[in-house]
Amino acid sequence: MSTATYTVTGMTCGHCVSSVTEEVTEISGVTDVAVDLPTGAVTVTSDGEISDDAVHAAVREAGYEVTGS
């Protein structure tokens, strides 16, 4: 099991959280996504290593940007 936390900018509401969660959850191997709206922290848990590029792409697909990992 692997866990990584990313900082995502632009999220302002529950819909934003849902969009990011939905897109990141679609990455193969992801088992859990936890989003903290006030801080922008997105914690991704997976059953193996997930590439940062895949997470960044999923966040961009949701309409937001990763500013740190």
pLDDT in tens, 2-38: 999 999 999 999 999 999 999 999 999 999 999 999 9
pLDDT in tens, 35-62: 999 999 999 999 999 999 999 999 999 9
- The crossing angle, in degrees rounded to 10, of helices 14-25 and 52-62 is 140
CB 55 within 8 A of CB 68: no
- Report pTM: 0.93
- Taking the C-alpha atoms of residue 50 and residue 31, their distance in angstroms, rounded to an integer, is 11
- Taking the C-alpha atoms of residue 21 and residue 7, their distance in angstroms, rounded to an integer, is 13
Residues with Cβ within 8 Å of 57's Cβ and at least 6 positions away in sequence, in order, are: none
Enumerate domains of the chain plus CATH numbers.
2-68 (3.30.70.100)
